[in-house]
Amino acid sequence: MSPDELKARARRLAEELLTQGDLAVADELLEPDCDNAPNTVAPGVDGVKSWVVTLRQSFPDLRAIVEDEVAEGETVVQRMTLSGTHEGAFGGVPATSRHVTWDLVGVLRLGPDGKFTKHWVIWDQLGLLRQLGADPASVEGSA
């Protein structure tokens, strides 16, 4: 697969899965037992879908913008900006109606069948919690 094809495939996860909430895209592009990180995402494609549902319930107008992409071999790295209005509880923080923006870096590795087998994410959870007015030390799932 060419680097451009690999980036286009990964971009669909940002645009169709995160922004549009189309969970079928996860089934199409991720291995059922894909290796996920961070620890806030349960294993496999079902873990990714559950995380997306939670995000979209908390931020119904969620938008993911891919700012930068690099692809080499079977790996693509994306730097994204996510934004949305906090309309539902998130991490134990009740809805604030605040519009927030946070950064995310994702690394995806393609398997031999054309689906992503590895899915690693690093995101600015602290920055997000601060924008929500939360004390990060008292929020569910924070360390």
Residue extents of the structural domains in the chain: 3-134
pLDDT in tens, 56-89: 999 999 999 999 999 999 999 999 999 999 999 9
pLDDT in tens, 82-111: 999 999 999 889 999 999 999 999 999 999
Are 45 and 31 contacting, i.e. CB atoms less than 8 angstroms apart? yes
Domain 3-134 class, CATH top level: alpha beta
